[in-house]
Amino acid sequence: MSVYTGAVQDLIDELGRLPGVGPKSAQRIAFHLLKIPTVDAVRLARAITEAKERVTFCERCFNLAEGTLCGICSDDRREPHVLCVVEESRDIVAVERTREYRGRYHVLQGAISPIEGIGPDQLKVKELLARIDPEGVTEVILCTNPNIEGEATAMYLGRLLSPLGLTVTRIASGLPVGGDLEYADELTLGRALEGRRSFDS
């Protein structure tokens, strides 16, 4: 049942397609947009069009990029022989925030999930393998999520990469800083114990 005139209803319908936006929120946003000055609304429209036009995936690592290579791949100061494999571009932002990593990335654009029918072929795995030799990669860090899909992906890649004679590492699992031990789940605490370090090292 549409009670609004064509253009308003179209706007509500389009907004309603966005993740996390229901019909009621869509209505609220639509009315907000109609109320604000035209310049503000046009600026939003232009930001969307420009982002869609300019942003593509980096040819090398499949991160978001403006142009053929992303900011990290085109930065000469980055260590070229270490690759950090992540599931999504968002994960790069998370790793970058640590300021602990100076190498390059590879975005798989997903994780292996048999139940959803996502296998290695749907991910950027072939592209990862094709980078190893030409770029002289000596270490691959498997930085997928520590959940069942991410673990399966890491195991799959580990099995594929280890025979190539390079260092393959998996990020550690453990307790979040600032948390309480008593709330830790068994698997995490178990792995934290397993991966404990000698105190004087």
Partner 1 sequence: MRSKGALYRDHGVVLRTYKLGEADRIIVIATEHNGKVRAVAKGVRKTRSKFGSRLEPMSHVALQLYQGRELDIVTQAETVDHFRAIREDLDRYGHAASMLEAVDQMAMEREDNPRLYRMLLGALRSLAADDSPLVVAGFYWKLLAQEGFRPELDVCVGCGEDADLVAFDLHEGGTLCRVCRSGFPLSAGALDLLRRILGGQLAGALAEPRSAATHEVDQLATRAMEHHIERRLKSVGMLDRG
Report the interface residues with partner 1, using CB under 8 A: 20, 112, 114-117, 119, 146-148, 151-152, 155-156, 159, 176, 178-179, 183-188, 190
For the record, the structure tokens of 77 come out as 């100061």
- Nearest distance in Å: CB 198, partner 1: 24
For the record, the structure tokens of 95 come out as 């790793």
Contact 191, 162 (CB under 8 A): no
- Nearest distance in Å: CB 153, partner 1: 10
For the record, the structure tokens of 27 come out as 């209505």
- Nearest distance in Å: CB 152, partner 1: 5
Identify which of residues 133 and 180 has a Cβ nearer to partner 1 in the complex. Answer: 180
- Nearest distance in Å: CB 142, partner 1: 13
CB atoms near residue 199 (< 10 Å): 5
- The CA–CA distances, whole Å, from 187 to 101, 142, 148 equal 26, 19, 12
Identify which of residues 44 and 187 has a Cβ nearer to partner 1 in the complex. Answer: 187
- 70-99: b or e for each residue (b if 16 or more CB lie within 10 Å)? bebbeeeeeeeebbbbbbbbebbeebeeee
Identify which of residues 132 and 192 has a Cβ nearer to partner 1 in the complex. Answer: 192
- Could you give the maximum distance between any two Cα atoms of the chain, in Å? 72
- Nearest distance in Å: CB 154, partner 1: 10
Identify which of residues 78 and 170 has a Cβ nearer to partner 1 in the complex. Answer: 170
Which residue type is seen at 199? Answer: F
Identify which of residues 9 and 122 has a Cβ nearer to partner 1 in the complex. Answer: 122
Judged on CB neighbours under 10 Å (0-12, 13-18, 19+), 19 is: exposed
- Nearest distance in Å: CB 172, partner 1: 13
Identify which of residues 55 and 148 has a Cβ nearer to partner 1 in the complex. Answer: 148
For the record, the structure tokens of 62 come out as 């499949």
